[in-house]
Amino acid sequence: MAGASWRNPRFGQKGDHPVVQVSWNDATAFCNWLTKKSGKAVGLPTEAQWEYACRAGTKTAYPWGDNPDDGKGWANCGDQSLQKKLPNAPATSKFFSWDDGFVFTSPVGSFKPNAFGLYDMTGNVWQWCQDRYRDYDKGAATDPTGAVVGSARVLRGGSWVVNPGYCRAACHNRYDAETRGDDDGFRVVAAAGGD
């Protein structure tokens, strides 16, 4: 959207909301800045790290189980509050059956944490990962890695605007590294140790 940025998204946000309108390049630049400022290695998670953290020991599609309709109180996703805001959405649009109380982003930590105590792994904003995007082979894989070349980068977790299929722990999305969206954000990982 013309004129939108992380300082001025197209909807109201406060300081306790996740950052949006940031590209993979922006998120990486922030990580580099924070590494220099803190003296600790800070970066975006790999896709494998992200999924491990999201699943928190579960094997279900969502942190709350396999049924998307059981997610009330767990995540800010494309739900009934968004459907009310978009009454003319195409008939093919799918929304969660519950109302999380937020049309756009919600304050961080507004919903239940997963078994690792991590908030907002599902919904609120897509989260950039370090990896380049590639389609994975069917079946289980241990610590898969992204593509070696390509401009598309991975996003995980779904967001406030997407349907149940995009909020599954196994779903991965992609955008070019310079793309910014009103539901694109990030989280960081920091190396253990030090002070």
Domains of the chain, by residue range, sit at 24-135+144-190
Residue 1 has pLDDT above 70, yes or no: no
- Which is higher by pLDDT, 127 or 10? 127
- Cβ contact 82:94 at 8 Å: no
CA distance 102 to 80: 9
- 25: exposed, middle or buried (Cβ count in 10 Å: 0-12, 13-18, 19+): middle
Model pLDDT for residues 55-72, shown as the tens digit of each residue? 999 999 999 999 999 999
Residue 139 has pLDDT above 70, yes or no: no
CA distance 149 to 131: 10
**Joined tokens for residue 161:** 């605007």
Kindly state the helix (H) or strand (E) to which residue 24 belongs, with its residue range.
helix 24-38
Please give the pLDDT value at position 150. Answer: 79
Range 124-148 average pLDDT: 81
CA distance 142 to 40: 27
- Which is higher by pLDDT, 51 or 141? 51
Q: Is domain 24-135+144-190 given the CATH code 3.90.1580.10 in the classification?
A: yes
Instruction: Read off the pTM.
Output: 0.90
- Which is higher by pLDDT, 3 or 190? 190
Model pLDDT for residues 143-171, shown as the tens digit of each residue? 766 767 778 999 999 999 999 999 999 99
- Cβ contact 41:130 at 8 Å: no
**What is the share, in percent, of the chain residues with pLDDT greater than 70?**
90
Please give the pLDDT value at position 193. Answer: 67
CA distances 185 to 120, 160, 172, Å, are 11, 12, 14
Range 94-115 average pLDDT: 94
CA distance 51 to 96: 22
Range 130-136 average pLDDT: 87
What DSSP character marks residue 98?
A: S
